[in-house]
Structures are given as structure tokens and as C-alpha cells.
Structure 1
Amino acid sequence: MIRYLAVAAATVLLVLPTSLWAAAGFDPVAATNAYVETLSGEARERSDNYFEGGYWLLLWGAIVGVFAEWVVLRTRLSAKFRDWAERVAKRRWLTPALYAIPYVIVSTLIVLPWTIYTGFFRERQYELMNLGFGEWLTEQAIGLGIGVIGMALFLMALFAVIRRSPKRWWIWGSGVITGFIIIGIAIAPVFISPLFNDYTPMEDGPLRDRILAMAEEHDVPADNVYVFDQSRQHDRISANVSGLFGTMRISLNDNLLERGTPEEVEAVMGHELGHYVLNHVLLLVVVLSLIFGLGLFITAKLAPRILARHGEKWGIRDVSDPAAFPLFTAILTVYFLVMTPAQNTLIRTVESQADAFGLDAARQPDGFASVAMKLSQYRKIEPGALEEFLFFDHPSGRTRVQMSMDWKAENVEDPEMIVPTAEGETDS
């Protein structure tokens, strides 16, 4: 009888998951708590307050945006911009492009006080901004210039399809948006990002070699790693694998190199490589295009009804009139506010997938956990389930730390309990 019990016990032990084998000396929950507890007191309160304040910014930002469009419509500025564009343009198809110039500038100026508060003063209040006001304003001006050019090209394409297909323009408009998303992804690393930061090749060394080895191991076509000087703007850590059609590059900011250990850098870069390998860019383009398509469909149904009632008062002829674009924007602003949970869930899902990939690729669970804690300096670390669903476009800090500690228990032989400190250093 004892022999049979011994055989049964041995069989059970053989099929137990690795995490339970490790539980005797390593407890993933206790390890997670040890990391989470390093963010406490005033630092945690500041992080929670900053992130929770962002919930209200979503609502107020939408209200401010709709108000700006209403002002442009109600004062007939939109109609005046169109009239000017028609006088200047020698061809009809150029009218929307010219209309975009005063429209973007005036709309930006209307919301400028809100932009200054949310983009500068609030960031400075929470010690998340390194730029002076003049430097920040210069970057805003550069962004405005890019916005004018991009909007001119976009409106020219959008109103061309509206004129050609007045009833089904929202379908072709979705295609236009998809095209602009793809073009933006392709040109941003080479032409746009360098307008704000200097990109230089990463110095030769073991860390660079490790990043490129991970890239080669997973068939990511990169032969260099670039560092960009984002510390001039803020102290947040960041990295990306971006670009399309030969413009793809692996980049990380100087904050990650200066604030992160080699293990943390490897963990972050494993995550970013995961986005590329798992085709997340393509997935996001497709899904976001569908979301935009639904928004344009709703706009195509609502805009004619609103114009039938207010169009004459605003000086707008019909939906093919470029002066109607502020109305489109107002409708889409409300639509995207309502769609925030869906968009957040989409992005949060792919981020979680990249987290899992990065753990397998870099095999640095404690590096990943400590990076998650550094990100939690400005992201609420332990939200409720509904709160995370509604407002988080990345997994929460606790979720990420728990994932890394579970991975450690299941994949590391004889895992050691790490005692992290508030500065990100660790002791065994």
C-alpha cells in the first residue's frame, strides 16, 4: 500500500507545473508585492493624482474641442476661410488644401490656453517637463507647421472622394485615412521625429550587441540601434521599433540608457521587438481604420441633417463644402470620446502581447518588473478592473509586474527572491 502511495505521489509531482515547484522558495505574489510597495507615500499619491486627473482631461478636452469647432462654425469663419480659398485657388480641387491653412491655425489658437495648461503647466506641476516655456512653444509651432501640411493634403483627398461619391464617401474616406496612417508611420522615423530630437547610432558595446542579437534571432531587419535625446523634453523612458517600407529603425531614448540597468534596457527592447514580430502595426492600422470607418459612417448620416437645419446660418452649402469640415470634426470628437474604452482595450491587448513576447525574448523578468515600476511614476499602479478597462491603454504596473514574476516562476530554474528598492536597485 505504501509503495502504491509513493508511486502516486511521484506521478503527481512529475506533472505539477514549474511555478508550483518554485513556490517553495519563490512566491510570485510576494515578489510582486515587494515591487509594488516601492512606490508609496507621496510618490504614489502624486502618480495616482496625475493619472486620475487625466480621466477628466478626456472629457474636458472633448468639450474644448467641440467648442472650438462651434466657434469656427457659428462665427462663419469656416465659410470665410472657404471663400478665401476659392478666390485664391485656380482649381477646385485645391480649395480644401488652402482652406486648411487658416482653419488649422485659428482652431489651434482657440484651444491654445487649454493646450498650454495641459501640455506645459500641468506637466511642470507634476515635474514631468524639462523644457522651458519658450522651448515648449517652439515645439508646438513645429507641430503646427506639420499639422497644416498634413491637414491640407488630407482635406484635398477627403473632399475629392466626397465630390465623387456623395452618398458613399465615408467608405472611400476610410481608405483615405488608412493611406495617411500608413504614410505617417513610414515617414515619421525619418522626417518627423528628427525635427524634435537628434538621433545618433548607439555606441558599440555588449548592450547594443544584445539588442541586435535579439533582433536577428526574431528576423527583425535592423543593423543598427539609434539613441534620441528625449531627456531635453522629459525624464520618461521610451523606445520603439518604428517605420515601414525600408524606413524601419530600432530606437531608444537617452533616459532609458541613463536611468535603466542593462537588464531593464533588454526587457524594454524585447517588448518593442515584439510589436514588430507580432505585426501589431498592421493590426492597429486595420482595426483603427475600421473604427474610423464607423465614425465616418455616423458623420455621413448626421452631418446632412445638421446642415439642413443650421447650414444656411453658418454659410455652408452641403457636405461637399470644405467649410463643413469643423462639423465633421465635432461629430468625430464626440464619437472618439465614446469609443475610448474600445481603443484602449485594443492597444492594451497588443501591449500585453508584446510584454509576453519581451519576457520570452529578453528573459529579464526582474528588469521588466523594475521598468514597470519606473513607468508607474506617472501611471496609476493599481487601478480597479473597470477603471483599467475604461482609461488604461497599457496594462497597469501591478499587472505587468505580476506577469513578469509569474514568468520568472515558470521559466527560471531556482528563481531568487529580489528585494527591490525605491530607486530601482535590487538586492538578492
Structure 2
Amino acid sequence: MIRKWAMRAIIAYLLFGLAIFLYLFYLADTSIPEALKGTNADPATFLNGRELELSEEYSRIRNLMFFLATPYEWLFYYLLLIFGVSALFERSAKHISKFFIARTAIYLFWLSLASFVVMFPLSYLSYTISKSYNISTQIFPAWMKDKVIDFWVQYATMLIIITVLYALMRKYKRRWWLAAWVVSVPFSIFMMFIQPVVIDPLYNDFYPLKDKHLEAKILAIAKEADIPAEHVYEVDMSTKTNSLNAYVTGVGSNSRIVLWDTTLERLSDEEILFIMAHEMGHYVEKHIYKGIAGYLLLTFVGLWLTAKLMEKWISRRGKEWKVEKVTNISSLPAFLLITSILLFLASPLSNWVSRYQEMRADTYAIKMTQDKEAGIQTFQSLTKAGLSQVNPPILVKIFRYGHPTMLERIKMIQEYQLNIPKGEESFSEKNPPNF
């Protein structure tokens, strides 16, 4: 029976992969609407023929990798359960130590190591593809170093989460999901607080922006938006990627405005100011707090559903898997499998909300800078640097895109009507590049 269920799961995964491959490479429509051909939103106007071909190829491959990776992880967790591997990890931990925390740490190490090994081929394939398309510039030893750091950061974080989670399961039995949700609130805020100053520096070097003229202009628009920022940081990303990015991270006194050095090297001051105005739009519209509220709501519903589904699943299949009850640490793959599926199912909604907020931030950036040309050039540059599809397939947009498509963003800027009173000029004109 176990082999039968395992074979069914593997066949289902392979059929899903085949269906996604056919959709992305043969059925999906990524053409530009006739009305937008020849406009700034048409990639043929800012990409050459080779770049157009590469962007389509690379995007299809990346999208395929995305849709294959998530159910591959589900398959891994499922096979761990039905073949009794998870129960074996738990027995190993019990033989080594009688203390709950130590047993949890040992079990989680074996599970994390197995996950790392099983998922490594997909990670390495993604890395080599990115290298072959000249997106990644990272040498293998440096990439491997990041993977090892990532392993230990995730292990340490998960050890805290799982230890607390299973302690709550044992104490509260039926209402553990509610207790876990209550504990998750301060923990999530704490993680957001320490992310910029503890975790991020493990991967990259951050330092104050060297271009003080540009920093002054960024801080000027931050002041105009009533954002309490004193410094702008740049991060050395050119040793890892040719992509461009900038962001605002953290909360409270640990918040940071960060620019990738690739962005500084390849974009003009006006384009950078547009990106910064976009990021500040998120602050002004309180998207971070709305995001936290939405996350907590989804977590509440998700934990409740997970508790119900785990209880039913373990009660029916637990004996076959050698998992006696939900409170056994060997039930963890079931928890991770269910939560991962629920997150995937919720992604269309969360992505839709994110796209709406991103479009609001784009609108704020135009109002702030009054510079449509810089906005259009920014998104064209981002498309070119990342070999992104301007108009991705609908399923890709729904399940993968937390930002509007480049087609939507450029089209919105093109159609936006600037309202500049006579005698007033744009922010970039009031603050020219050299002052």
C-alpha cells in the first residue's frame, strides 16, 4: 500500500510538471496587445532581438523551476511520512537524548539535512541557469557559502519555532494553534526588527552610501514624505548578480534604505530617485503595517486549518507512518506539508494585494518626482537587467508576481496625467544631479 501511494504521488508530480511545461512553452500567450505595440511598454522598443529571445527563454525556465520546486517539496515531505523516515529521525533523537529540546534539535537537524540534500539539485540547477544567462555573477564557492549560511540561519530559526510550537501542542492539545498564533505576533515583529542588522549582514556587506550628493537628494524626498531616515546604505551585490534592486527594510530604529551597487552603477540619479520615491510610497501608505495585519490574519486562519487537517490526517494514517499522535515531533513533515499547500493556495490573494500596493507606490513615485520619463526608463532597465517578461502568462502572474507586470507598470506611467501648476517644476528639476 505504501509503495502504491508513493508511486501515485510521484506520477502525479510528473504529470503536473509535464502540464506546466506544455503551458509555459507552448500554450501561454506572452504577446504584447496590439494597442501597445510600438509604445514604451513594447519590449521591442528597448530590447534588441537577442535580448528579446533571451528574456523569453530565461523567464520560461525560471517560471518552470518555480512551479516544479514547490510540489517537489510537498513530495519530499509526503514520502518522508509514508516511508516512516520521519519516525526514524524521531527514534534516533530519543536514543541520543531524553531532553525535549535536545531531541527536537537532533530531529530537526536530520530533517533539515535531508531537505538540503534533496532540494540541492534544484537549487544548483537554478544557479547554473542564472549563470548561463549572465544574471548571476557569483562564483560557486561563494554561492555554496551562502547556501551553508542559509542552512544554519534557517535551522536556528526553525529550532526556536518548532520547539515552542510542539511545547504548545503538548500543553494546549486542542487549542495549540491559537496559542501558536498569539506567540507568532511578537516573534514576527522581532524578526523584522533584527533582520537588517543581524541576518542580512551575514550574506552581504552593507555600508553608508558613498555618493553623498545622491544621499542628500534621497534624504530630501524622505523628509518631504515625513520619513525619519538619517542614512542610506548601499550593499555589494555586483559579486553575486547583474540584477538591479533597492528596498526599505526593518521597522522602527532598525529600518534601512538600501541600494544595490548594481543599481547605483547602471541607473541615473533620476531613476534612482524614482525607485526611492516608490519605496517611500510604501511607508507613507503604511503598507508594512497593513502587510503585518494581513499576515497575522492569514496565519490565524492557516494555523486553525492546519490543526484541523493534521488531526484528521494523523488519526487516519498515523499508524501506517509510525506517527502516534500530532504532538510527536515526527508529525512535523505533515505540518510543513499542509502549511506549504495552504500558503500556495493563498498566494493568488496575497499576490493580488501586493500588486495593488506596488501600483499605489508607483503612483506615489510619479506624484512625488513628477518624472514620467525616469519611471519608464527605470522599468525598462529593470526588465533588461533581469531578462524579465514584460507580459508574463496569467498563471505566472497569479501565483508568482507580487508586483504588477512591467507591461502594466509602464502602461500606467504612460497614461498618468501629470498636474504641474504653472511656475512649479518637478522634484528632479528642483534638485538637479550636480548641486
Deviation larger for 372-381 or 134-143: 372-381
- Normalising by structure 1, we get a TM-score of 0.83
The equivalent residue for 1:134 is: 141
Larger radius of gyration: 1
2:407 to 398, 402, 415: 398
Matched-pair identity in %: 26
Q: Secondary structure at the match of 1:197?
A: coil
- Equivalence map 1:165-314=2 (5 Å): 165-314=172-321
The equivalent residue for 2:77 is: 69
TM superposition shift of 1:29? 9.7
- Normalising by structure 2, we get a TM-score of 0.82
Letter of the structure 2 residue corresponding to residue 373 of structure 1: Q
Cα distance in 1 for residues equivalent to 2:421 and 2:139: 46
Q: Secondary structure at the match of 1:227?
A: strand
Q: Secondary structure at the match of 2:258?
A: strand
Deviation larger for 76-85 or 385-394: 385-394
- Equivalence map 1:4-403=2 (5 Å): 32-33=40-41, 37-89=45-97, 91-92=99-100, 95-118=103-126, 120-377=127-384, 378-383=387-392, 388-403=397-412
Letter of the structure 1 residue corresponding to residue 228 of structure 2: P
Contact 2:310 2:335 in 1 (8 A): yes
Contact 1:128 1:235 in 2 (8 A): yes
Cα deviation digits, residues 157-216 of structure 1 (max 9, x gap): 211222222222222323344433322211111011111111111125321111011111
Aligned residues: 388
Q: Secondary structure at the match of 1:111?
A: helix
Cα deviation digits, residues 113-172 of structure 1 (max 9, x gap): 112112x12212322110122211111001001011000001012112222222222223
TM superposition shift of 1:93? 5.1
Distance 1:408 1:259, change over 3 A: farther
Cα deviation digits, residues 218-255 of structure 1 (max 9, x gap): 22111111110011110111111111232111110101
Contact 2:43 2:390 in 1 (8 A): no
Letter of the structure 2 residue corresponding to residue 72 of structure 1: L
Cα deviation digits, residues 299-338 of structure 1 (max 9, x gap): 2122122212321232212111111010111122222222
Cα distance in 2 for residues equivalent to 1:413 and 1:206: 28
Cα deviation digits, residues 391-428 of structure 1 (max 9, x gap): 422111122112223335444879xxxxxxxxxxxxxx
Deviation larger for 133-142 or 381-390: 381-390
Deviation larger for 82-91 or 148-157: 82-91
Cα distance in 2 for residues equivalent to 1:121 and 1:29: 34
Aligned alpha-carbon RMSD (Å): 2.7
Contact 2:94 2:103 in 1 (8 A): yes
Unpaired segments of 5 or more residues in structure 1? 1-27, 415-428
Letter of the structure 1 residue corresponding to residue 107 of structure 2: Y
Deviation larger for 206-215 or 42-51: 42-51
Structure with the bigger RCO (C-alpha within 8 Å, sep 6+) is: 1
Cα distance in 2 for residues equivalent to 1:325 and 1:412: 61
